[in-house]
Structure 1
């Protein structure tokens, strides 16, 4: 798509669009990505243009479209934040920066890390939801073109899409995007399952004819009889949606009903209920499959009537009924706030304020922490809602699977804490009962009742779990505070400070806690580490206080022995090591898997069992990396910057081989430990211009220490001088 085509597509729904801005952004992005290609071999810039087109189809504003065109420039080209701000203004630069930060989140790591990343995700959403819209469109296009990725990368991205991005799109009200993301991921994760469902569809259509057209005509006929003009659409549900229903209900395809969905778009709210009456008069409604989201809209603004009926030949079909305004919100979700029509932001009374939506969402998670936070975020994004009634007729919204205890805590923490029983529709039920839509719930309370630890297994909402944990914590509060004070004292003394009341109060305030007592209670209950508290007050001192001097780095030597780090394997703190004695050189430290150890394996008297100090090491240990880079302007500078951003210093750099398209080089970097090495290599591997990367380990006679070599300097693990011959590069 050319710049003019994109500008014309935007102008079609927003005649007041700044076409010059769109063209300038297009030209800038094209220039920055010049020479870069995708895995498919296409020019890389086709991707940002495709993302912009997706957002244009959602009728979004100019700033969001420009952000899409530039969203990879800061990460993948020589462009910087200041360049974007100078060319396109602070707001667009801020949006591009937000997308860049989201791209750098590792959303597929451990559960606790994932929880922290979800927090960052919601922080980005709270700053400007358009950042998430660009990221979702970016993921959608990447999934549409995922076949060009390596198989293992396809599976990783598809699982990430299924777990995070698809439910997030659904939670934001963009169900069409959720359906497509899930189906694209399903195609990678279970291609056989998807193909089997498509084959069954083809067989079913061959046996029954075009069921969708027949039922669509039936609905139109019924509406014509009652004089209602409406648009009627029908479709088969997506393969993944059907697969999920088969798994949840443990049914075979042949026994599965409601595999078809129909949508009726009317002119007024009153006509929606007229359509509902006409459909229910013609076909039998399926009990328990009716939801009125017009009278009880979802938090993202979604409004519609859902009903499932036994249609033609007894086949169950789901019918959604809504007005045109409701349909626009149903398609765009929270993004409807930025939609344009005829050059002005569309006035849709059903579109929600994104700031208000985010605020409500954050309220649900504010008390949850760590894995608990992750658990409730996923629950909120995946699950539908259940609407229950108080004895006075007020509506209480709960997630699917909620219990009377969740209901009690949803009303007030005091009612939840003192709950001893519940009545549902007037009948006494166990507290673990799963509530259903439309039920009336009454909570029975008693003075002196306290939450039980078993309640944590019953409730599903974050609010209930947090309240129960808080109550249980308070019961042991005195014991926890005493233990927490001792933990704080030891941690503070470790960096030469005292855990005074003022210091603890300051730390509590910095960590968002009400007072020092709460901080100590959390320390004692292991909900927070003492290291975190010290880092909050003395981040630099905390690290420096634990830094291990090179002279004390290796343990296991006699006082008169001085260690020397071998250049053959360049061992790092964190790796298993062994010492080998050499005449005139003292002890040379080798990694346990060093090839040079083969030469002395028959001389056990020269071997010394060593290990690294467990503290924090300074970044002084040199490691050689072999890198193959694309021979483009600015690539080497960016790679050096990337290494620097990981707090690693380049001590030497040597070009080994030059070719017209690639060149090989050896880079010596100074690192803290093996984890620091992993961070640097991970950052480099993620760069598009790095073709190969390996840690170099020298072999051959020049790498082995000589018996007549000079004496090593005393005190510390020193490096050996320059390598006599250039190393053999990988590949």
Structure 2
């Protein structure tokens, strides 16, 4: 064997004798025979370097460690990947576990191989507080590498597949943890990339590791299928083959057998018995071209009646992962359903191997649809992660996205967009562009105005109505389902909260300084800088935000800045307290820093006071609120607040109503509230008997005048026996 020391920054132990070539290496070379002699020579060189670098390292099964990366390379060779991918697979653990560096690999095998290996390499777990954070940050790093080269994820999936095949040597705790991560992350990624063969095996191995007893029971039941089922399969298969032959349609007919995992999930999700799940026969027809696919569809529909609403054309409208096929369900013999999938050879390769098929069907150098869609998905994830401060939040967001089934909708221009099932019009808005989502006010679905929370169905035509004045609301997080929308909304809310906090904090500190005959602008820059450094703050904005959120008292900050010791009033700790005489006026745009107490639901026009609460900012109460006497014990936290003349927005008010307990009474009240241009937020019965019902309504109003108008309308109703504001 050739010495590898010249390419290493740190020498490793000598290579094993070159005369002995293990069977597993020969198996790899046979699987990779399509590469040609020169590439096979590079592949052997990669093995020699990998074997030498990993010498002395053993797997938990007792085998030499090099058997693992060679097995990973063989899995990829079976998918027809290029030589650089197989070389990177053999060396994928060298940077992480051996003295070999990225530069060593780049010098010996080129930048492509070095980049792929670096992308697969995990981060050092010692940097993180726990395993979950390390996993999340390594996942984020891997996704960044995938954006530049999709082969990174192919090696990672093959690596996970071989680890799952040899999971038995791990401890019970490790088996459970690795299997859960496989089912939650890697199997869904394989599905998202269209790699159904990988997905199916990962799911089944993960299920076997998580629930070995359940897997064994289902496996045994599948193998012991009744004779009648086997006869039915043969009858259906022969009938389909015979009818297609009469039409002179060249085809491959494959019967599909359900895996234990697919049976288990269907039983659990759809609450079906084993017999009900197995009472479905599955077949796949692989045709020469698209025209033959549609011809074959007509043939099978003439043989067995199709089930209404169960036909899907994924050839005309492919799935998000590039999958194309015709799906139909037929009424077969013995009363059983027959599921038939019809597609071309190339579609079948993409369906089974996903983006891995790109290296077989290169289309004259053009990107395949599966590869293009995979790249779009990865780029979308990465644009989301730029707005996500926490790697754990990004990791969890991707997991949510991966588990969603798809629905296909149309933009106004006729473009097809793929969204998760149960996605709303707001999810669609954020899928179009983040700015469209941030400024959305309503949607037109199939030409009809609909709320943003409306769930979309297949084939819906969606248009988003926007206005520059619209901003995201916290309630939006309750009904969006895509990670992209959730990340964008959270980021915008944080930004709005920070901006609001700075503005409110500035106003509060300025008023406190005015009591001392000063202002922020008149504080010497050096003194302000020194104060910020003493309190471990980088910028004035951070201090202002802390003041607005109630974590710092503006009076104490003002006192420290002007270096005065006397005060108009002292707190319990003897420190000076200043209560600004000027009112802080509420204009309705500070909702992220100023909140309104639910105990008394203040609205514009009410006499109010503000209480500075740590972590919450200013909480506004009506002056006659039952809780106000308790707040008088802490005058240093009082904030003199009032309503701006141009106050805007909707505010909640609570009404207590005595209603005639007759049918339709609630409907009359709801109609009157709607006619008064208000919305009902909540309704609950406080008490009820055969004659009278006492109901509490929480409604949205603009101000006291608006509330008075609503109450007048309600008092005119005969069903309203009494009404008062709570």
TM-score if structure 2 supplies the norm length? 0.61
Judge conservation of contact 1:368–1:462 (CA < 8 Å) in 2.
no
- Which of 379, 383, 394 is equivalent to 1:359? 379
Judge conservation of contact 2:123–2:138 (CA < 8 Å) in 1.
no
Judge conservation of contact 2:119–2:146 (CA < 8 Å) in 1.
no
Partner of 2:302: 281
Offset, 1:468: 4.0
* Mapping 1:45-84, distance limit 5 Å: 45-84=66-105
Looking at structure 1, the residues matched to 216 and 128 of structure 2 have their Cα atoms a distance apart, in angstroms, of 29
- Which of 24, 29, 32 is equivalent to 1:7? 29
Offset, 1:175: 1.3
Looking at structure 1, the residues matched to 134 and 101 of structure 2 have their Cα atoms a distance apart, in angstroms, of 28
Looking at structure 2, the residues matched to 95 and 412 of structure 1 have their Cα atoms a distance apart, in angstroms, of 31
Judge conservation of contact 2:436–2:466 (CA < 8 Å) in 1.
yes
How many residue pairs end up in the alignment? 506
Offset, 1:413: 5.8
Looking at structure 2, the residues matched to 105 and 273 of structure 1 have their Cα atoms a distance apart, in angstroms, of 57
Offset, 1:432: 4.3
Looking at structure 1, the residues matched to 485 and 479 of structure 2 have their Cα atoms a distance apart, in angstroms, of 10
Partner of 2:342: 321
Looking at structure 1, the residues matched to 131 and 58 of structure 2 have their Cα atoms a distance apart, in angstroms, of 32
Report Cα offsets for 1:118-142 as digits up to 9, x if no partner: 3223112123222221121111111
Is the counterpart of residue 401 in structure 1 residue 422 in structure 2?
A: yes
Compare 24-33 and 156-165 and name the one that shifted more: 24-33
Report Cα offsets for 1:602-633 as digits up to 9, x if no partner: xxxxxxxxxxxxxxxxxxxxxxxxxxxxxxxx
Report Cα offsets for 1:20-65 as digits up to 9, x if no partner: 1111122222233334332222232222221111010011111111
Looking at structure 1, the residues matched to 57 and 300 of structure 2 have their Cα atoms a distance apart, in angstroms, of 55
* Mapping 1:59-138, distance limit 5 Å: 59-101=80-122, 115-138=136-159
Partner of 1:585: none
Compare 149-158 and 123-132 and name the one that shifted more: 123-132
Judge conservation of contact 2:35–2:83 (CA < 8 Å) in 1.
no
Looking at structure 2, the residues matched to 37 and 377 of structure 1 have their Cα atoms a distance apart, in angstroms, of 34
Compare 130-139 and 191-200 and name the one that shifted more: 191-200
Offset, 1:244: 1.2
Looking at structure 2, the residues matched to 246 and 168 of structure 1 have their Cα atoms a distance apart, in angstroms, of 23
Report Cα offsets for 1:143-194 as digits up to 9, x if no partner: 1111122222211111121122111111122111011011101001112222
Looking at structure 2, the residues matched to 224 and 307 of structure 1 have their Cα atoms a distance apart, in angstroms, of 20
Looking at structure 2, the residues matched to 61 and 361 of structure 1 have their Cα atoms a distance apart, in angstroms, of 26
Partner of 1:336: 357
Partner of 1:499: 539
Judge conservation of contact 2:361–2:368 (CA < 8 Å) in 1.
no
SS of corresponding position for 1:227: coil
Is the counterpart of residue 189 in structure 1 residue 206 in structure 2?
A: no
Distance verdict in 2 for CA 1:322–1:253, change over 3 Å: same
Offset, 1:424: 5.3
Judge conservation of contact 1:403–1:433 (CA < 8 Å) in 2.
yes
Provide structure 1 residue ranges, at least 5 long, that are not aligned to the other structure: 505-518, 527-731
Offset, 1:78: 4.0
Distance verdict in 2 for CA 1:177–1:500, change over 3 Å: same
SS of corresponding position for 2:122: helix
Is the counterpart of residue 163 in structure 1 residue 184 in structure 2?
A: yes
Partner of 1:209: 230
Report Cα offsets for 1:663-690 as digits up to 9, x if no partner: xxxxxxxxxxxxxxxxxxxxxxxxxxxx
Looking at structure 1, the residues matched to 309 and 159 of structure 2 have their Cα atoms a distance apart, in angstroms, of 38
* Mapping 1:494-643, distance limit 5 Å: 494=534, 499=539
- Which of 292, 295, 298 is equivalent to 2:319? 298
SS of corresponding position for 2:112: helix
Distance verdict in 2 for CA 1:200–1:269, change over 3 Å: same
Judge conservation of contact 2:387–2:491 (CA < 8 Å) in 1.
no
Looking at structure 2, the residues matched to 449 and 349 of structure 1 have their Cα atoms a distance apart, in angstroms, of 39
SS of corresponding position for 2:311: strand
SS of corresponding position for 1:308: strand
* Mapping 1:339-488, distance limit 5 Å: 339=360, 349-353=368-372, 355=375, 358-363=378-383, 366-368=386-388, 370=390, 372-390=393-411, 393-411=414-432, 416=437, 432-441=453-462, 451-469=472-490, 472=493, 476=497, 478-482=499-503
SS of corresponding position for 1:58: coil
Q: Supply the RMSD in Å over aligned alpha carbons.
A: 4.0
Distance verdict in 2 for CA 1:218–1:439, change over 3 Å: farther
Judge conservation of contact 1:325–1:348 (CA < 8 Å) in 2.
no
Looking at structure 1, the residues matched to 548 and 142 of structure 2 have their Cα atoms a distance apart, in angstroms, of 30
Partner of 1:261: 282
Offset, 1:473: 5.1
Report Cα offsets for 1:391-444 as digits up to 9, x if no partner: 675533211121233234445667656766666567777654433222345667
Offset, 1:482: 4.5
Compare 362-371 and 444-453 and name the one that shifted more: 444-453
Distance verdict in 2 for CA 1:99–1:204, change over 3 Å: same
Partner of 2:254: 233
Report Cα offsets for 1:268-325 as digits up to 9, x if no partner: 1111222222223323333443332222223443322223333332323332222112
Judge conservation of contact 1:338–1:346 (CA < 8 Å) in 2.
no
Judge conservation of contact 1:389–1:395 (CA < 8 Å) in 2.
yes
Partner of 1:677: none
SS of corresponding position for 1:286: coil
Is the counterpart of residue 248 in structure 1 residue 269 in structure 2?
A: yes
Judge conservation of contact 2:54–2:94 (CA < 8 Å) in 1.
yes
Looking at structure 1, the residues matched to 388 and 546 of structure 2 have their Cα atoms a distance apart, in angstroms, of 14
Judge conservation of contact 1:50–1:141 (CA < 8 Å) in 2.
yes
Partner of 1:198: 219
Judge conservation of contact 2:142–2:152 (CA < 8 Å) in 1.
no
SS of corresponding position for 1:383: coil
Looking at structure 2, the residues matched to 390 and 345 of structure 1 have their Cα atoms a distance apart, in angstroms, of 31
